[in-house]
Amino acid sequence: MTHEHPLPELAERTADLVRAVMSEIRPKLIRAALSGDRGEDTNLRHADNFLSVHDLWMHRRYQEMLQKVLPSFVYASEEAEPQVIGPDPDPDLCVLVDPLDTSELAVRGLHGYTHVMIYSRALRRPVVSVVGDIFHHFHLYVGALGADGQDRAHLITADSERHVLTARPPHRLSEALVTNYLMKPAERFRPLARQERLLQALEQPGPDGRSRGRIGVDFGSVSLCHVAAGLTDAVVEFAKGFAIWDLSPGHHVLHAAGGVVLDLDGNQVPLDYGLDSLADIAGAMNGRRRFVAAGSMQLARDILGVLDV
C-alpha cells in the first residue's frame, strides 16, 4: 500500500462519485440476478448491444451527480447524444461515460463495470479517468494528470487501500496472459480462434518444457486496467474494435501506469481523441478502434508480429 502520490482533488471527487453510484446500483443488480428479472429494454442507439433499465438509471444518475462536481461540461454518455450541462455554452471539460459496461453480465451478478473519463478540450487529453468494478474487491482504477504534468495510476480496493500502479518487467509472449473480449461467437470468438500464429506463440514451452501462455476473456476498459495493475499482460482487439467509451478510460489508466496501446499498424494510439466540438464528440462516439494494449512496448510488438489482420 502506498500514498506517495496523492490524487488531485478532481480525481478524488470523481472516484468518490463513481464509488457512490456503484454502491447504489449493486443491490439493484443483485436483485435482478436472483429474481431473474433482468430489466432488458429496447436499445435504439446500439441495436446489437444489450440494454437494461439499470444502464439508463446509471446514465441519469451520473448526469445528476456530475453537476455537483463540475459547474459546466459536455455530457457524452453511451446512452444519449452529447449535451452541454450548466451555464457555459462551450465548456472546456467533456465527461465521457459508459454507465454500465457488460450490463448483460451485470444483471446476472457476474461482472459489471462503469467508466467515467473527464477530458480537457483545451489540453486535448484526459485529465481524470475512473473505471469501477462493481462486484470485485479491486474496486476503482484511477488515472489522473497531476499538477506536475505527470499522469499517475492508482488502484483502490473495496476497503479503501490504495496502490500506485507502475510499469513492471515485461513478460515474454510465451508466458503472457493475453485477454480478448471473445463473448460473441460470430464476431469475436471465431476470429480469435483463427489466429493460429498467436495461439502457437502462446503454446511455446519454456525451458522446463511447460507451456505458460494463456488466452483469457476480459471486458472493455477494465481489461486495460487489469494490464495496468499487472493482473494480465495484454489485450488484443482486432475484430470489431472498441468504441471510445470502452477504450479511452482504460487507455488513460494504462498510459499512466507505463503501458502502451498500439493500433494494428504499430502506431501508438494518442490520448488526443479530437473532441473539439459537439459534432466531433458525436462523431467520435460512432467510431471503433482495433488495438493491442500491453504492459510493455516489446510485448505489444511481439503480439502484433503474430497477429493476422
- Give ∠ CA 18-153-75 in degrees, rounded to 5: 40
Residue 41 confidence class, pLDDT cut points 50, 70, 90 = low
List where CATH 3.30.540.10 sits in the chain.
9-165
The answer to whether the annotation marks 100 as part of a ligand binding site is: yes
The answer to whether the annotation marks 96 as part of a ligand binding site is: no
- In this prediction the pTM is 0.95
In this structure, which topology does domain 173-306 adopt according to CATH? D-Maltodextrin-Binding Protein; domain 2 (3.40.190)
The answer to whether the annotation marks 101 as part of a ligand binding site is: yes
Q: Are β-strands 177-180 and 214-217 bridged in parallel, bridged antiparallel, or unpaired? A: parallel
Instruction: Give the whole-angstrom CA distance, residue 75 versus residue 304.
Output: 35
Q: What is the DSSP letter of 145?
A: E
Instruction: Give the whole-angstrom CA distance, residue 179 versus residue 232.
Output: 8
List where CATH 3.40.190.80 sits in the chain.
173-306
Q: What is the DSSP letter of 284?
A: H
Instruction: Give the whole-angstrom CA distance, residue 309 versus residue 162.
Output: 39
Query: Quick one: pLDDT at residue 1?
Result: 47
Percent of the chain with pLDDT strictly greater than 90: 87
Inform me whether the pLDDT recorded for 43 exceeds 70.
Answer: no
Lowest mean pLDDT among 229-238, 281-290, 293-302: 281-290
The answer to whether the annotation marks 66 as part of a ligand binding site is: no
In this structure, which topology does domain 9-165 adopt according to CATH? Fructose-1,6-Bisphosphatase; Chain A, domain 1 (3.30.540)
Q: What is the DSSP letter of 187?
A: I
Instruction: Give the strand order in the sheet containing 125-133.
Output: 83-85, 73-77, 93-101, 113-120, 125-133, 138-145, 151-157, 162-165
The answer to whether the annotation marks 29 as part of a ligand binding site is: no
